[in-house]
Amino acid sequence: MADDQLSQLKQMTTVVADTGDLDAIRRFQPTDATTNPSLILQAAQQPERRARLADIARRATDIDAALDAVAVEIGSEITQLVPGYVSTEVSAQLSFDTQATLARARSLIERYDRQGVPAERILIKVAATWEGIQAARVLEREGIHTNLTLLFSFAQARACADAGVTLVSPFVGRILDWHKAHDPQADFSGDRDPGVQSVRHIYEHFKGNGYETVVMGASFRNSGEIQALAGCDRLTISPALLEELSETRQLLERRLTPLDAETQAPAPQDDAEFRWDLNEDAMATEKLAEGIRKFMADQRKLEALLAELRQG
């Protein structure tokens, strides 16, 4: 009988836990872990963390400092459980401000350093707007690794690779959501899944042109999407789907294989070309804006929680 599919997947893809749940990370033993405002909010609401977070909130100079301190506190705990990267996100409110993103990213790295966590263990997550990508370009030159998130289009992926970012996170499930909402009768199963097709296109472009940027599929709606992307550089997976894979004993076929670079990379996009190509993609334009709004909604809930703890 074949090993469980999670074990098989780990033989061909770096598995990343998409959670702030320490128990889930201990159980599934991923290589890396990713967090975002929604996951940090979930972790912060756990009763056993309340006293510690209250202390952090009261010590912080303002609510922004409290937010970053909490993210670094949880991220530092996670670094004790995984051997690889931990992703920590810059506030989505800064998605269109390159200089503010740079300042916040550097501050997060400094906070990690004070916790004894070196910069090479951290991926700074930044929304894949033009401004975010330009901030990532600078950070990478400074030796700060980046994870460009909320990525829905090939235009975003191209710009990220041109900027030399460490990793991109195409959002498979949210791409599928948009297409299902706009064409509910269509068959998007298996290889017809537009999110799966998007990641494959990005992967083939990066490998075919010699880009070193890592492709990490994210935001999965079902295990079929993960199975269809087996062999991708990295896949970040929720605890529920990690559980499902660990209980499935069928053979897992490798679907993506790195190829030797065969073509010369196209000329980098400029600001105008990037914005036009993104504008031409209704799905990516809508999902990027929606994703920023959703992350900010959860950030505001976390701000309210920390404000309450500061006063307690």
The residues annotated as belonging to the active site are 125
Angle between helical axes of 130-141 and 271-280 (0-180°, round to 10)? 130
Q: Report the distance separating Cα 40 and Cα 30, nearest Å.
A: 18
Shortest CA distance to 299 belongs to which of 91, 66, 96?
A: 91
Give CB contacts under 8 A, 24+ apart, made by 298-301: 298/37, 298/38, 298/40, 298/41, 299/37, 299/41, 299/67, 299/91, 299/92, 299/93, 301/41
Q: Report the distance separating Cα 310 and Cα 312, nearest Å.
A: 6
Q: Which residues of 30-40 are buried (b: 16+ CB within 10 A; e: fewer)?
A: bebbbbbbbbb
What is the 8-class DSSP label of residue 266?
P
Q: Report the distance separating Cα 213 and Cα 145, nearest Å.
A: 11
